Amino acid sequence: MPTLGDQLCRFYLRLNISASLPAGIEILQPYNDPEVRKLVKIFFKKFYDDNRPRRLLIGINPGRYGAGVTGINFTAPRQLRENCGIVHHFGDSSELSAEFIYEVIAAYGGPKKFFGDYFIGSVSPLGFVQEGKNLNYYDNKDLQKALTPFISDCLDQLLSFGFDRSRCACIGGEKNFRFLQGLNEVRKQQGKNSFSEIIPLPHPRFIMQYRRKQKQAFIELYLQALRQA
């Protein structure tokens, strides 16, 4: 029987968007890089080499400096090496969202405990760039419309891996939560796998850029949501 790590690895390494996207928007596709593919396999082997049920945290979509480099959500090169103990050749760059998430992970009990209970995914598991800048899937309505079948199909696949569907935490404030909540309701009506409850959380980048002085309070907010989820 394949482990959760096997299933996740197969899912991410086969990701492909066949939809026609609006002009000027490019897909972040780190999984074509052989080094990324190797690191993803190591990460899933290290933390998900079993079939224990986990709960989900779901972000927006990967960015250029985190999963767009490493292939692992909310994990920049520095966190992959220093926090996850995985050696690589992508340097020592970091990014604000990864720094906050790994502070939450440390407060929870460290990567082994956290990843033993949770998996961090994204509404869109592939990211986007426009004019050299990160683009969230919901920032362009034509992009969001074109991606919706891909997003729903990816959610189908993830939820088939045995994740706990009683609750999930949505990372990303109002727009990401509203989209995911709406999609979840449609999926319920269609009789597809869905969540009983979705808990919204503010995005780490917002916290680190605009509420850094209250960072500890937001870490506690995340921990409270994890205890609920």
pTM, 2 dp? 0.96
Q: What is the pLDDT of residue 1?
A: 87
The span from the CA of 45 to the CA of 1, in Å, is 15
Dihedral sign computed on CA atoms, order 167, 53, 83, 98: negative
Q: Each residue of 29-63: pLDDT tens digit?
A: 999 999 999 999 999 999 999 999 999 999 999 99
Q: What is the pLDDT of residue 72?
A: 98
Q: What is the pLDDT of residue 79?
A: 98
Q: Each residue of 179-221: pLDDT tens digit?
A: 999 999 999 999 999 999 999 999 999 999 999 999 999 999 9
Q: Is the pLDDT of residue 229 over 80?
A: no
Q: Each residue of 128-179: pLDDT tens digit?
A: 999 999 999 999 999 999 999 999 999 999 999 999 999 999 999 789 999 9
- Measured in degrees and rounded to the nearest 5, phi and psi for residue 120 equal -100, 115
pLDDT band for position 228 (cuts 50, 70, 90): confident
The span from the CA of 20 to the CA of 91, in Å, is 34
Q: Each residue of 79-133: pLDDT tens digit?
A: 999 999 999 999 999 999 999 999 999 999 999 999 999 999 999 999 999 999 9
The span from the CA of 220 to the CA of 19, in Å, is 39
